[in-house]
A = this chain, B = another copy of it.
Amino acid sequence: MEYLEAKNKFISTWGSLGSLWGINKAMAQIQALLFISTKPLSMEEIMEDLKISRGNTSMNLRQLMDWGIVTKTLVAGERKEFFTTEKDVQELARIVAVERSRREIKPVVKVLEEVSTIKDDGTAKTKELIKQTKALHELTETMDIMINKLVNQKQNWITKSLLKLFK
């Protein structure tokens, strides 16, 4: 496999995997491109490489910056803006995990909490609703705590966690 084939394969696979880490295709592809680039890239270069429009590139870069995955860098003597992504995979994974927890898990935990504390009117269906949402609330909260705990170990968190789990 040649460089170009490998590069395209990587970008498209990573792009379609977007759903797994909760971002859209273009966002994931831009990040993938920056991830294997040897230097900061301009909007121009990104749009040309991925064959996407200027508007699309601009919007998705902005979202990547909102996630804290991509940053603007100044290149000496250049007017336009250049972009780089976090290059350390573990740090990348940390950021994604924390963001998803904040954006998606925490709001759900809140709703489950609300629903699971409605007044028990004594009917079987209310009892079941309370019981099941309570269980789900506990599970979701535990998982969220787990993720945040894992991820706050900073240095080498994945390896450390794996070791602990294997014991």
Question: Which A positions have Cβ atoms within 8 angstroms of B?
Answer: 1-3, 6-7, 9-10, 13, 17, 19-20, 22, 35-38, 87, 89-90, 93, 100, 104-105, 108, 111-112, 114-115, 118-119, 121, 123-126, 128-129, 132-133, 135-136, 138-139, 142-143, 145-146, 149-150, 158-159, 161-162, 164-167
Asked if residues A139 and B108 are in contact (CB atoms below 8 Å), the reply is no
- Known A139-B158, A165-B150, A165-B161; judge A129-B6 contact (CB<8 A): yes
Asked if residues A1 and B165 are in contact (CB atoms below 8 Å), the reply is no
Asked if residues A162 and B145 are in contact (CB atoms below 8 Å), the reply is yes
Q: Shortest Cβ distance from A69 into chain B, in angstroms?
A: 14
- Known A89-B136, A128-B38; judge A118-B17 contact (CB<8 A): no
Residue among B9, B38, B158, B166 making CB contact with A149, cutoff 8 Å: B166
Q: Shortest Cβ distance from A101 into chain B, in angstroms?
A: 11
Asked if residues B125 and A142 are in contact (CB atoms below 8 Å), the reply is no
